[in-house]
């Protein structure tokens, strides 16, 4: 047996084209997968990605076309995450988080006017958030609101697809998206105050 | 024109994101558009909703630290 052919063999002693194809597809998707995982869990993003990769490898045959690999992997990751949530037997926490219905970040910004010299108050506010700030805000939201928000508005999943993934009726997902947007806006306002995003001199040298 | 299509600001604001998603019934869309045609505040809400969506959609991906990337790559190679 030639040395070079040994390298291309799996432990079973046969060359495994499936495995090589899988590796090639997946390596390019690692950053996007990890990014999604970080927005879903506070700790353990890497474990979540590993578990998703394991399941993806087992179900590699279900991938219809290589071009869909990114979305396919993300879907698997969300499924793994959902199952983890269930196992922790955390009952779905649908209790209301304070009185939200009349909170409007748009109006709050107009009323509080944190940047009095700005003509683009609302944009300035958003631009104060870097990706770590946004992640911190997202992680504070209850899972049932964060997951649809991240999938819909950051990763571009359709609401129907989210309903299927979360095993919930479409109406429920729409309601959670609605409430989730309100929560996100309120949490962004709270966080901006705590983290000093509303003052020009944000401590950059810390 | 009848004013049966009139809706309050709270209702218009509630529907803005679905309106932007084109996930709204045609008759509701008409109501929202009618409301926007005369309500400055809700036009402001609409602009901000657009900005929020763009902000979320374009927020940079969470950077994968090199050592994590390396570990995951090794993990994939050993599958
Ligand atoms: Zn209005």
Task: Flag whether B20 is in a domain.
Answer: yes
What class has domain A98-205?
mainly alpha
Task: Flag whether B17 is in a domain.
Answer: yes
Question: What is the C-alpha to C-alpha distance for residues A85 and A106, in angstroms, rounded to an integer?
Answer: 33
Q: Count of CB atoms within 10 A of residue A32's CB?
A: 18
Average pLDDT over residues A118-144: 93
- Report the separation in Å between the CA atom of A175 and the middle of ligand 1, taken as the mean of its atom positions: 21
B9 inside 8 A of chain A by CB: no
Task: Flag whether B4 is in a domain.
Answer: no
- Tens-place pLDDT, residues B25-79: 999 999 999 999 999 999 999 999 999 999 999 888 788 999 999 999 999 998 8
Task: Flag whether B1 is in a domain.
Answer: no
Confidence (pTM) = 0.83
- Give the CATH fold of the A3-88 domain: Rna Polymerase Sigma Factor; Chain: A (1.10.1740)
B1 inside 8 A of chain A by CB: no
How distant is the Cα of A184 from the closest Cα of chain B, in angstroms? 10
B27 inside 8 A of chain A by CB: no
Task: Flag whether B41 is in a domain.
Answer: yes
pLDDT at A136: 94
Question: What is the C-alpha to C-alpha distance for residues A192 and A199, in angstroms, rounded to an integer?
Answer: 9
Q: Which of A56, A103, A153 to mutate to test the interface with B (most CBs of B within 10 A)?
A: A153
| Cα-Cα end-to-end distance for chain B | 68
Question: What is the C-alpha to C-alpha distance for residues A106 and B42, in angstroms, rounded to an integer?
Answer: 10
pLDDT at A98: 60
């Amino acid at each position: 047996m030639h040395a070079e052919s040994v390298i291309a063999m799996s432990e079973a002693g046969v060359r495994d084209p499936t495995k090589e194809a899988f590796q090639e597809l997946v390596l390019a998707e690692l950053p996007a997968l990890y990014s999604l995982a970080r927005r879903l869990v506070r700790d353990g993003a890497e474990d979540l990605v590993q578990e998703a990769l394991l399941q993806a490898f087992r179900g590699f045959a279900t991938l219809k076309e290589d071009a869909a690999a990114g979305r396919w992997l993300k879907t698997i990751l969300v499924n793994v995450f959902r199952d983890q949530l269930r196992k922790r037997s955390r009952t779905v926490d649908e209790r209301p988080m304070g009185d939200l219905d009349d909170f409007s970040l748009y109006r709050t910004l107009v009323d509080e006017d944190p940047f009095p010299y700005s003509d683009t108050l609302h944009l300035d506010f958003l631009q104060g958030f870097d990706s770590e700030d946004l992640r911190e805000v997202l992680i504070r939201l209850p899972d049932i609101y964060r997951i649809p928000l991240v999938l819909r508005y950051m990763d571009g999943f359709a609401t129907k697809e989210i309903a299927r993934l979360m095993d919930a009726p479409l109406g429920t997902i729409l309601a959670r998206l609605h409430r989730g947007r309100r929560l996100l806006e309120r949490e962004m306002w709270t966080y901006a105050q705590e983290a000093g995003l509303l003052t020009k001199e944000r401590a950059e040298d810390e | 024109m009848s004013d049966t299509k009139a809706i309050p600001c709270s209702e218009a604001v509630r529907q803005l994101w679905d309106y932007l998603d084109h996930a709204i019934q045609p008759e509701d869309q008409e109501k929202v558009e009618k409301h926007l045609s005369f309500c400055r505040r809700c036009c402001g809400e609409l602009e901000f909703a657009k900005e929020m969506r763009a902000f979320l959609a374009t927020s940079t991906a969470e950077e994968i630290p090199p050592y994590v990337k390396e570990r995951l790559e090794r993990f994939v190679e050993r599958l």
